[in-house]
Amino acid sequence: MAHDTVFFIAPDDETAAATRLRGPGRAFESVTCRFIEPDSAIADWDMYFADPSPGIPPMEQLLEWSWPEWVTAPLNDGVEVFALPQRLTRALADAGSAELEELAGRWTTRLRSADGDDMTDDDLLAVLQGVARLAASAVRTGGGLYSWSF
């Protein structure tokens, strides 16, 4: 499980990849959270918008979903930089408060079922609202939405 995850906007993959060693820092507009797996969160969010369904889809369906792509090849240091899919960035940018609340509830339920009491203590709705604001900014500026984690 990643200890720190930072969602951030960058103008392109090359700029995002350059954050690999030190993280995005203050140079990038960002949202930070702790103790989540960014790749599974991104896949879960993408599935929510692309293939809506009542309730939480089974874990098997999530595992078969298209997962985010690395911006830099993973090494053994645990650092990962992912690009969020453009369709997810647009969906988050366009999401209303009710959609974000529903997604946060679904995400919380999935994390609680997988992690139990070891689940993050971050306010997941606040995280999603922050990421949605980043997505709107990325769409406006033509940049991309990324995650950096360690």
Instruction: Round the average pLDDT of the chain to a whole number and report it.
Output: 92
Positions of the chain with pLDDT lower than 50, given as ranges: none
The pTM of this model reads 0.93
Q: Which long-range contacts (CB under 8 A, 24 or more apart) does 62-66 make?
A: 62/110
Q: What is the pLDDT of residue 2?
A: 65
**In the chain, what is the straight-line distance between the N-terminal and C-terminal CA atoms, in Å?**
9
Q: Which residues contact 85 (CB under 8 A, 6 or more apart)?
A: 42, 46, 66, 68
Structure tokens at 132: 């949605």
Q: What is the pLDDT of residue 69?
A: 94
Q: What is the pLDDT of residue 114?
A: 77
Q: What is the pLDDT of residue 107?
A: 92
Q: What is the pLDDT of residue 117?
A: 65
